[in-house]
Structures are given as C-alpha cells and as structure tokens.
Amino acid sequence: MQILVEVHHKHKLEKLMKIISQLEPFDGFDIPDSPLGMPSPLPSVVGTLIRHILEDKRIIINQRTLDTNELFLHSLSITSKMMNFDITFTRGDKPKIGREVGYVSPEEAVKIAKEYGVNAGLMISMRKSREEIEKRLKFANADFYLVLRLEDPDQLDRLNTSILIPYVIVKTEKNKELAKVLNQPTVDIDKAQDFIQALKRKGVMGVLLSALGDYDALLQLQKKI
C-alpha cells in the first residue's frame, strides 16, 4: 500500500522546494489544480519540481475539468506521459476568476489521457448510494479512484479496493479550526494510524493523506505507519 501526501501550493519557489524535500519519506504526491477555484501554480510545474528533486516518486496531478477544454487536456496528457505523471480528474469548484468552460466531463478527460498511455483516475464520493458507487467503478474505465468522504473503512467492503485510494484528512491541533469549516470527514491525529492500518487490511492501492498544510504532523505519522 502506497502512502501518498497532498501538496498544498506555495507561491515562493524556495518554500515549495523545502516542503518537497521534507516529504521525501512518502511514496508519492497528489497536487491539486486551483483548489477552491483560486489561482495557484500549475500542478504540472510542481510535479516537475518533485520529479527533478525526488526522481521516482509517484506523482498524481489532480486536474479540474470545469474550466479546461480538449486542447489543454491533450497537452496535459502529453506532459504527463513525458514526466511519468498520473492524472485524476474532477469537475472542481467554480473558478473565482473568469468563467467556467464546463463541457468536458471527467470521464471524457480520462479517455483522452488513456489515449496517450497515461494512468488516469476519477473521484468517488462515499456519500453516493452503493448502487451509484458500484456502477461508477464498473463502467467508468479509470485506472484508479480517489475515495472522498470516507468515514469508516468498512464502507469499502465488497468493493474492488485494489484500485481505490482513500483521501484521509488528518485533524491536528494546528489545523483543527480549518478542518471544522471543510464539511468533510476528518480523522484525529491520535487515531489516524489505526485508521490507515484498517484501510491497509482492506487491500487498498494506497492512502492519500492531507493535514491541510501541517506537514510536521504528517511526517510524524508516516514514521509510525
């Protein structure tokens, strides 16, 4: 089971490179595109820095489709093939600047990426019905799925966990106020190790950890896993 970490963008190159180096113990990285619809450094640029510094780590570009078109997705796929990035696609939040494009679905984006031989994924929310989840896993034809809003590892029972990567938000003393406003399930730092081990027993492909920028807490947790 891979232990992946979410990288939050920094606008200063020196800070970003320092964070990347600190996170070397993890198996790979997930880089979101314009979180909450706000401008940020391009994930492919951050991914290229990671590839340069840490070479063989798994890198997932978490790409929005709400404000992209086919030309961009083809270019991103070519870039990802060249740099050995995976891509996972989501519609994303409405852009805070400019207008949404919105006609390319995440499922269509997966097809484009796979034309170039890129490992391509989608999102699954555990707040959907069991029928909807099973249908998506069966027919969407993605290589992997990031699992959102998971509250209990037992929710994964009888699913093909070998292609699932649960997204786990770790709540710490430093980020607890921010975690409150997210409206997403969180796991207390002192319970996170047991939660992750339970996911491992379910046979998941990996776990994607986020502590909302509290990287020190994640590094301490990684040593225990």
CATH class of the domain defined by 2-224: alpha beta
Task: Band the pLDDT of 165: cuts 50, 70, 90.
Answer: very high
Residue 11 is predicted with a pLDDT of 83
Q: What is the CA radius of gyration of the chain?
A: 17
What pLDDT does 36 receive?
84
pLDDT score of 8 more than 90: no
> What residue ranges do the domains of the chain occupy?
2-224
Chain segment 100-116, per-residue pLDDT in tens: 888 999 999 999 999 99
Q: How confident is the model at residue 224 (pLDDT cuts 50, 70, 90)?
A: confident
> Residue 7, Cβ neighbours under 10 Å: how many?
25
- Taking only the tens place, the pLDDT of each residue in 14-57 is 999 999 999 999 999 999 999 888 999 999 999 999 999 999 99
What pTM value is reported for the model? 0.95
- The stretch 51-77 carries a mean pLDDT of 96
Mean pLDDT of the chain: 94
According to DSSP, the residues that pair with 29 across neighbouring strands are: 5, 59
> Residue 80: what pLDDT?
99
Q: Would you call 101 exposed, middle or buried from its count of C-beta atoms within 10 A (0-12, 13-18, 19+)?
A: middle
